[in-house]
Structure 1
Amino acid sequence: MKALASRGRLDSVSQHMASHPQYLESFLRTQHYILYMDGPLPLQYRHYIAIMAAARHHCRYLVSLHTAQFLRAGGERVWLQGLEAAPPRLRHLDHINKVLAHQPWLTSRSHIQALLKSGEQCWSLAELVQAVVLLAHCHSLCSFVFGCGADAEPLPMSMSVPPPLPPHRIPHGTPPAYCPCDAANGNTTVPLTPSVPLERTPRRRSLDSSYDVAFLRERIQKSQEEKERRGDRLLHSQTLLNTDMEEEEEMECSTDPSRFVSDPEFGYQEFARQDEDHLQVLRVQDYSWEDHGFSLVNRLYSDIGHLLDDRFRSVAALPSTHSPDLQRAIWNYIHWIYGIRYDDYNYGEVNQLLEKGLKLYIKAVACYPDATKTPLCTLHWAPFKPAEKVHVDLLVMEARLQAELLYALRAITQHMIA
């Protein structure tokens, strides 16, 4: 009701999150603060940064949404011609945007120093922190949008439907064929569900199930066909209180995300395949949200630490028929994918608690959401009720958000103490 009264309509993301109202309130409060409340960045900069972040995952839903808001905030229409038409200061964010979106462990002190270096187009530390928070927020929100299927739903009536994707577009981070990352503690083959075809030769069950991409795509197609047969459609009707002028404005706002993307070949790469010592695995015992990230971000961007912390706590406290161990396994599995390790956690529990199809889904939505497409949102082969499926998507989004923030804030800390 609050969102409807303040916005004039209830967007698809809020509709999906509404099954968990306590979390939704925390999410909307944080998002409103980042985009509209006091902060060093002007409003048009904030929405343009959100466009840049959403474009990395080719999320037309968020690109269109923030394009409309960018124009309402007084943004220059010419900037929407593409990244090259934006001011140099915004273009300078492109590299850290790319890295945080796909390989956040590569974020380094040098990236921070390059943005803060003296000059006419430099960023202040406060501006950069707000920009980084906004980038991480939008990247993780892309995962939720694609996971719950909001990107495939009709845009509000006041927005035009984007043209279909060009057939030659390469998704950012195509799922790799195989990853040899095994679970810790000698966790061997675990019985699969009946829906998973058995192989002739048993093999160790990896913590990373990306080698089953063909199987995943087949399930995606079947799930979409099943969804269409059932006529299972989410609410598409939107309550509109916009004026005719606003509707006409938004009709022009549908923008091709690719024009805001440089280096489209850059995508997610398997962290476990790389030299972990060289990449410096982020161990939570050395740099954590609770002991390090929270205090730093709250000091440089007033109150945002409390709002983000409330989001993390809200998603952890959501009621669920599943055990807290399962929720922790999902969270830690996502952090494992991003190179974050908990020394006090037995990663063998991931294989014991997470069904194979669920692991495939989690990794796809977390790491390459633009490649997953929305049929993944059904997950009808897994024993989840609708609210529980949304719960999984929320866990993926928040775990990914915290992972990106940890890497970015660690790099800022390294710059500050250098």
Structure 2
Amino acid sequence: MDPITAINSLWLLVAAALVLLMTPGVAFFYGGMVRAKSVLSMMMMSFGAIAIVAVLWVLYGYSMSFTSGDDWVIPHVIGNPFTNFGMIPQLTAADGGPDLYALAFAGFQATFAIITVALISGAIADRAKFGTWMIFCAIWVTFVYFPVASWVFNFTLGDEGLTDGGWIVYGLGVNDFAGGTAVHINAGAAGLALAIVLGKRIGFAKGMAKPHNVPLTLLGASLLWFGWFGFNAGSEAAVDGIAALAWINTLAAPAAAIIGWLIVEKIKDGKPTSIGAASGAVAGLVAITPACNILTPFWGMVLGLVTGAVCALAIDLKWRLGFDDALDVVGIHLVGGIIGTLWVGVFGNGIGLIYTGSATQLGAQALGALAVLVFSFFSTALLGFILEKTIGFRIKNEDEQAGIDTSVHGEEGYALDEPVTVRG
């Protein structure tokens, strides 16, 4: 193997480890924002996603997502789950040993599938059955994520540009570098659908439940930001200038988004909060994800500032429209993903409206975002409805009021010893 391929493979392995760390980061981020008696349930949904998705990815998810040539079930739309079943073809390279680069790339993409599913869980916090959630994870990742990942991430570059791949990138020419559509719009639309299907929590009202552990949420946001450098810079799958640009944008955009969120929070509520800072950082990370390879750092910071401000306002939509998106998956991931995806069409270096005077790229970005949003929302709504009406998705009211940790898992997040009375 040549040294360049070896270095790129090493970077992919490191980036994959960073992205995998993001899912425990999601667990902490979400876990700190729910009630103390629901923290374990919330975190278990993320760890459950790791278990289900990793197994299915190795069996057939990689095959479905990265089919090419004559192996499409439907060309550019649905991949063949048996092309690389069990990833056996990746175990043999030209020299007879395991294919280092292919396995590293497959591992990197597995972590994207895992975190996309985990993100959805925040929309249905405090009211979902764990067993049904695990079944949902398996079906949703198979019929929603794997196809969408193929539309966006699966493409082949030749001397004359794209020569094969999924229809969103190959057909429309959408620039979605690290998953603004496939990950964030996908998860946000799915979260909205499930929140509607499962209904509102008992006592749903603004300010009904304050975060029980803000430091835990800040820890989660920190892990997310740390891992996101692998998420974005690793998506280049090589050690080069684009990876470095993605890294800088991953630093600058969320930093600016924190400022944008806190300014709005100060004006709207009178006080900037720690939860606001953490949420602003995540919103900025979401928005820069599809655009980090093609924005100058200046436009990346402007994107972050705008996204932080808009998402700080968007999280109130659930109160106005009446859907219970418990932990703001819609306001941060769906809205942030849409802003970042469309931003490329206006400010993308060399392809955006301000550079070319043409709205062609903006139209492609909008169509790609809309396609994923509609497909994910309606597919998830149908799946959630079927599960709710058959095996049940929402827990009983008494279990919700008592707390999911003890009723579903038989554990407590903070099982403190009873005080001992000493008699003199």
Q: TM-score range by the shorter chain?
A: under 0.3
TM-score by length of 2: 0.26
TM norm structure 1: 0.26
